[in-house]
Copies of this chain bind each other. A is one copy, B any other.
Amino acid sequence: MKRSFFVLALALNTFPCHADPAAAPPAPNGITLPKDYQNWRLLGVSQRTENGTLRAILGNDKAIEAARSGQTHPWPDGAMLAKVAWKQKSHDKFATAVVPGEYVHTDLMVKDAAKYAATGGWGFARWLGDKFTPYGQDAQFAQECLGCHGAAKDADWVFTTPAKLP
């Protein structure tokens, strides 16, 4: 029966190859991955040249409204930012274009100035791969996030400047 389903699903091209964010285990600090984050709107894109990744930065409604009205110093409580990272590769039909390859991880920042006062007002989390393996052994992992994000402390700990999308 299972084999029949597998063959049928392949034939119909409907095999559920995408993981379900709702099934992602919580991060060690208790933060969960919003199940609809793939539907959030665009805040920006980036490339990390030292590790060859392309990224898209998405925001929930609260974050998008804040970005579009310039209210990001600080970002409001309830704003959430998701950064999706892929290994980059050359486009097979456009030699000078670089595009997403393998999916690597999704990072999440959740703003709650009181709840996350110890980490800049933000809750941090990361899930690795499409099995959504939470990053970090215990809640102290967020100190690693902060160590890097400290460079953006004067931008409320956020590296992303919302890209102009006229």
By a beta-carbon cutoff of 8 Å, the part of chain A in contact with chain B is 13-14, 18-19, 21, 38-42, 44-50, 54-56, 58, 68-70, 84, 86, 88, 91, 93-94, 96-100, 102-103, 106, 130, 132, 151-152, 155, 159-161, 163-166
Contacts and interface: CB of A to CB of B under 8 A. Distances in A.
B164 A100 contact: yes
Copies of this protein in the assembly total 2
Contact of A54 (B45, B50, B58): B45
B56 A159 contact: no
Given A49-B97, A55-B45, A86 B163 contact: yes
A164 B96 CA distance: 21
Closest 10 pairs between A and B when the two form their complex, measured CB to CB: A50-B96, A100-B163, A130-B166, A47-B98, A103-B164, A19-B166, A93-B151, A45-B45, A38-B165, A49-B96
A45 B100 CA distance: 7
Given A41-B38, A163-B86, A97 B46 contact: yes
A47 B13 contact: no
B56 A56 contact: yes
Contacts of A103: 163-166
A14 B71 CA distance: 10
